[in-house]
Amino acid sequence: MTKPIITKEQVKHIADLAKIDLSPHEIEKYQKELASILEYVKKIQEVDTKKIDFKTHVGVKNVYREDVPTESLTQEEAVSQAKNKDGYIIVPTVITKK
Amino acid sequence: MKTKNKLKTEYKPVIGLEIHLQPKTKSKIFCSCSSEYFGKAPNTHTCPVCLGLPGALPVPNKKAIELCMKLALALNCEINKESKFDRKNYFYPDLPKGYQISQYDQPIGKEGFVEIDIHGDARRIRMTRVHMEEDTGKSIHRGNETLLDFNKSGVPLIEIVTEPDFSSKEEVDIFAKRLRQIIRYCEISDADMEKGQMRYELNMSMRKEGEKKLPDYKIEVKNIGSISVLQKVIDYETKRQTEALEKGEKLIQETRGIKDMSGVTLSQRVKEGSADYRYFPEPDIPLMSFDKDIIEQIRLTIPELPQEKKWRYVNEYKIEIDTAEVIVSNKSLFTYFEQVLERLKDTKLAQNAANWIVGDLRRLSKKYNVKINESKIKSVYLAELVELIDSGKLRSNVAKEVLTKVFKTGNSPSQIIKESDLGMIENKGELEQVVKKVIGSNQKIVDDYKNKNPNAIKFLLGQVMRETRGQADPIVAKQLLEKLIK
Amino acid sequence: MKNLYELTIKEAAELLKKGEISSFELVQSCLKQIKKVEPEIHAYITLNEERALEQAKEIDIRRKKHEKLSDLAGIPYSAKDVYCTKGLQTTAGSKVLEGYIPQYTATVISKLNDVGAILLGKTNCDAFGFGTSTEHSGYGVTKNPIDTERVPGGSSGGSAAAVQYGGGLFSIAEDTGGSIRCPASFCGVAGLKVTYGRVSRYGAISYASSYDTVGPIAKNTEDLAMILEVIAGHDPHDATSSNEKVQDYSKLLDRSIKGLKIGIPKEYFQDGLDEEVKEIVEKAIEKYKSLGCEIKSISLPYTEYAIAAYYVVGLSEASANLARFDGIRYGPQEKGENWMDIITSSRGKGFGEEEKRRIMIGTYALSAGYADEFYKKAQKVRELIKNDLLRALKEVDIILTPTMPVLPFKFGENDDDPLKMWLADAYTVTLNPSGLPGLSVNAGWSKDGLPVGMQLIGPHFREDLLLNFGHKYENEK
């Protein structure tokens, strides 16, 4: 049997790198789907790209800003979309009962 | 016999440093929020870009890049003519985009060096790279809450990475101080450690003395906020690692942190292989290309650097190495010193001037909390002072008093001398009076002199000098004594 | 007599200028239509009714004072929900941004606001642009107004559907791999994918940073030209935006295209192309011949690799662009024992299936050990695909292809295999990696009354040429 292009372990690892919580059922599902997708996209390896040196997709270079400060968001605006307290954005951790 | 618990000198440290420095810009690196956030209320210096809001885009700050290039040149780096930003991908609550915009394989500067003097020998510490990146926000862990403040997010950082060229904490100390001087000379940053503008990361391992190969592990200690703590950490790690190695333990790649200023390090995470940052070129920022002219323009803004300056003082003006080192370490000192050099009619007096500067003037400056070059003692006055001493018109112990008066009043030394009558006694008659008085009150010694005791004249002369508070010309005084005793 | 919501921008602008209708009436007409049609079609996620009517009143007052106003003043429009609109919910079609009220407005929306165009609301789309049918939205599907059993196309399905049924006279959508052209084709309207950098991306929620383009969907090319004149141009907030001069596109629509060469790539007319679509597009080619154009067969040999290369680079960038959705500064937050748990469960719960698939492919393609074979390789293949097109555009003035290989498909048709959906992008995905502009105009209707779009491709910054060709075709009907 040929080794699958992506294993369940790899799916777990990728999900960990991407910080996405997956259930065991999801891991199985995505393993199949990702394998099929990767089998397809790996065809790019057939292409001879020896002479190609990809640098960038943008035509221009050296785009900068002058060092001039401007107004920021107010504190209220900055934290308005998050859990916040005293001007800080807070990440509340809870101990879940096991 | 008491056995001393002495560390075997078998192991020597191998040290590399990473330095993060906030360059002096008015705005952040990828947005126009003010970068002067220190001490301000949380989340008052943020915008869609540095807060990582959906749809926001980065635009690089020209000044930040110029300062990075300037520092790279000052560190003798080669400037990469083609440079770019890259995304370094990882998750942390204070990293709003889930990636940090940094530089990966085409940093602004690479392969440089800094020359330092260790025990009279010149050593080159090699710089691997100098690159530009953005700082993260600040996270404060409080009980079961983490408080996040994004004021610091997006503030520019220059990262300097050295090769593992240090083999002692002394070298690290000298280098760190020299680097800070270079940074201040070039006006890259105020390098104020208390404001978090500069921090060190230590990469350290131990190897057997004489071993040339690099050890297969390295301990990283992050977030060190001062040179003195850096020293303590090196001590602590030297002891800890040596003990472990002597016990036969295998040390592996590890990241450690510190929780206070004692130098004690604590394990944070064990690196089994490195984190996968999945670096790729930042697609939102066009490439940077630096032509020869731009690089030259920036290079021309670099002033004479401390190492150069020090050796110029030593070679051209015969200043003692240690004195020169002190002077170059402080901008007000060398600015003042160079002004004085211009005023001196004869630069052979340079060492004298230097001594006054590093000695009494420095003390006065500290006492009255005013920089020497901003004080009332104009450079022309110090020049005048040393010249007066050299020509014999002012005795050095009286000179101290004169100096202090000049410092406080801003009047010239000649003026002070005239007003306080601190000059040499010009009036021969006045001196004769004193000599007669001394002869009169020291009859016994006079008799000794007459009996050909050679020490007698020294004593009598000493008395004359004391009476005149050093303002007598000793040669003239001696002549008078001899004449009047007869 | 047309209903007001059936007017083109050009027609409405004329009537507004003459004072024959008011903006308030126009907006009201669209809102009425929206109320009528939305329960079935669901093109909108969020409506901006009150504010829209207020703005309409303000414009009418200014017009009465004889203020000189833009042609777009008082014209109601919708915006795909990937554009940040200060004070108005913006979700990118994903649950991970449910309830997010942006603290700032996208440049394109500000520009339209400044000329007095009136935002009616935010339209539905595949989350983050990840889709070809608007079936992957966290807020339900949008139905094709022409045939409600069929998809409107994607990812800007809501935008195209709204324009088709009159819920606004135009829409600002976004195209990363065909997301404007596909729904324009499936809904029988016109859509323009601009040259990369032509319109500012600031405030547009990113999918693939080097592919994303901001562009209009409207009833015809003339309307597209009027919108483009307002939204195009350099933006200091977007370092990738171009300084290329913005042309007077509406003045360049009527130029003669006689003698100009149209290239027909043979690879686009092979297996996989629906017969009816082929027929209709071939008829369109004939029409261009009758307009005096020269038709030339060309070859784009790297076409077979386009989808693969497109996805590898695009999803790599997307995986990083979506890392900011961690539930901490905005978006719904799940509970957790530590910050890592909070982030992983917020993302696990908020992202839909297609989002998770794409993020994982992108993460894989950049990961240690795979980055060379996937990400880096794909970037190189991208260059070859781009060079194919640039080479062809030296031989011909414009390239013509069907926009989609199929007629608008039925809901659920591509459910069993995610890859199948991706392959439907075959004709549109080549443009975004190359940065070239592409226009989709309606070419005709199938025997069942389904729309077929044709795609016109031109050189960088030649939107004027595309609109010219499209306009000539439309007027020859």
- Residue in chain A closest to C434 (alpha carbons) equals A57
CA angle (B351, B352, B358) in 5-degree steps:
85
- Residue in chain C closest to A73 (alpha carbons) equals C103
Q: Distance between CA B112 and CA B129 in Å, rounded?
A: 7
Answer whether B34 touches A (CB < 8 Å). Answer: yes
Give the whole-number percent of chain A exceeding pLDDT 70.
92
C5-24 mean pLDDT? 98
Chain-chain contact of B144 with A58 (C-beta, under 8 angstroms): no
Answer whether B56 touches C (CB < 8 Å). Answer: yes
B205-228 mean pLDDT? 92
Contacts of A74 in chain B (CB under 8 A): 44
pLDDT at residue C22 above 50?
A: yes
A22-48 mean pLDDT? 95
Answer whether A61 touches C (CB < 8 Å). Answer: no
Chain-chain contact of A44 with C377 (C-beta, under 8 angstroms): yes
Give the pLDDT confidence of C217-250 residue by residue, as tens digits. Answer: 999 999 999 999 999 999 999 999 999 999 999 9
Tokens for B287? 């490439």
Answer whether A7 touches C (CB < 8 Å). Answer: no
Contacts of B33 in chain A (CB under 8 A): 69-70, 72
Contacts of B144 in chain A (CB under 8 A): 92-95
pLDDT-derived band at B270 (thresholds 50, 70, 90) equals low
pLDDT given for residue C354 in this prediction: 96
Q: Distance between CA B282 and CA B57 in Å, rounded?
A: 11
In a domain, C69, yes or no: yes
Neighbours of chain B (3+ CB pairs under 8 A): A, C
Catalytic residue among C80, C122, C143, C193: C80
Contacts of B43 in chain A (CB under 8 A): 75, 78-79, 87-89
In a domain, C367, yes or no: no
pLDDT given for residue B272 in this prediction: 52
pLDDT given for residue C423 in this prediction: 85
Q: Distance between CA C302 and CA C426 in Å, rounded?
A: 12
Chain-chain contact of B54 with C239 (C-beta, under 8 angstroms): no
Domains and CATH numbers, chain B: 16-204+273-299 (no CATH), 306-420 (no CATH), 428-485 (1.10.10.410)
C36-53 mean pLDDT? 98
Chain-chain contact of C101 with A81 (C-beta, under 8 angstroms): yes
Catalytic residue among C23, C94, C155, C156: C155
For C206, the domain range is 4-245
CATH of the domain at C49: 3.90.1300.10
pLDDT given for residue B273 in this prediction: 55
Of C305, C337, C359, the CB nearest to A18: C359
pLDDT given for residue B1 in this prediction: 47
Which chain C residues touch B if contact means CB-CB below 8 Å? Answer: 82-84, 90, 92, 97, 100, 102-104, 106, 201-206, 208-210, 236-240, 316-317, 320, 322-326, 328-330, 339-340, 343, 363, 366-368, 371, 375
Give the pLDDT confidence of C91-135 residue by residue, as tens digits. Answer: 999 999 999 999 999 999 999 999 999 999 999 999 999 999 999
In a domain, C268, yes or no: no
In a domain, C14, yes or no: yes
Closest CA to C343 of A76, B47, B146, B274: B146
Contacts of B146 in chain A (CB under 8 A): 90-91, 93
Chain-chain contact of C84 with B146 (C-beta, under 8 angstroms): no
Give the whole-number percent of chain B exceeding pLDDT 90.
71
C38-60 mean pLDDT? 98
Q: How many CB atoms lie within 10 A of CB C85?
A: 23
B467-478 mean pLDDT? 81
Q: Distance between CA C264 and CA C271 in Å, rounded?
A: 16
Answer whether A6 touches C (CB < 8 Å). Answer: yes
In a domain, C152, yes or no: yes
ipTM: 0.97
Give the pLDDT confidence of B371-421 residue by residue, as tens digits. Answer: 999 999 999 999 999 999 998 888 877 888 899 999 999 999 988 888 877
Chain-chain contact of C345 with A47 (C-beta, under 8 angstroms): no
pLDDT given for residue C414 in this prediction: 82
Determine phi and psi for B118, rounding to 5 degrees: -115, 120
Neighbours of chain A (3+ CB pairs under 8 A): B, C
Give the pLDDT confidence of C355-408 residue by residue, as tens digits. Answer: 999 999 999 999 999 999 999 999 999 999 999 999 999 999 999 999 999 999
Chain-chain contact of A93 with B41 (C-beta, under 8 angstroms): no
pLDDT at residue A98 above 50?
A: no
Q: Distance between CA C458 and CA C440 in Å, rounded?
A: 12
Answer whether B410 touches C (CB < 8 Å). Answer: no
Contacts of C339 in chain B (CB under 8 A): 92-93, 146
C322-328 mean pLDDT? 97
- Residue in chain A closest to B41 (alpha carbons) equals A87
pLDDT at residue A1 above 80?
A: no
pLDDT given for residue B119 in this prediction: 85
Is C179 catalytic? The answer is yes
In a domain, C238, yes or no: yes
Tokens for B394? 């002012």
Contacts of A96 in chain C (CB under 8 A): 335-337
pLDDT-derived band at C37 (thresholds 50, 70, 90) equals very high
In a domain, C76, yes or no: yes
Answer whether B153 touches A (CB < 8 Å). Answer: no
Contacts of A33 in chain C (CB under 8 A): 357, 418
Chain-chain contact of C361 with A38 (C-beta, under 8 angstroms): yes
Chain-chain contact of C363 with A44 (C-beta, under 8 angstroms): no
Tokens for A70? 């401007």
Q: How many CB atoms lie within 10 A of CB C279?
A: 14
Q: What integer best gives the mean pLDDT of chain B?
A: 92
Answer whether B271 touches C (CB < 8 Å). Answer: no
Answer whether A62 touches C (CB < 8 Å). Answer: no
Tokens for B162? 């050295």
Question: How many structural domains comprise chain C?
Answer: 1
Residues 6+ away with beta carbon under 8 Å from B94: B136, B137, B138, B139, B148, B150, B153
Yes or no: say if B438 and B463 are a contact pair by the CB < 8 Å rule: yes
Catalytic residue among C23, C78, C159, C179: C179
Residues 6+ away with beta carbon under 8 Å from B461: B474, B477, B478, B481
pLDDT at residue A32 above 50?
A: yes
Tokens for C438? 């592409």
Give the pLDDT confidence of B243-260 residue by residue, as tens digits. Answer: 999 898 888 888 899 989
Taking the model in full, what pTM does it have?
A: 0.92
pLDDT at residue C450 above 50?
A: yes
Pairing state between β B78-79 and C451-457: unpaired
Of B27, B51, B140, the CB nearest to A69: B27
Is C299 catalytic? The answer is no
- Which residues 1-30 of chain A have a CB within 8 Å of chain B? 17, 19
Q: Distance between CA B126 and CA B15 in Å, rounded?
A: 12
pLDDT given for residue C418 in this prediction: 81
In a domain, C190, yes or no: yes
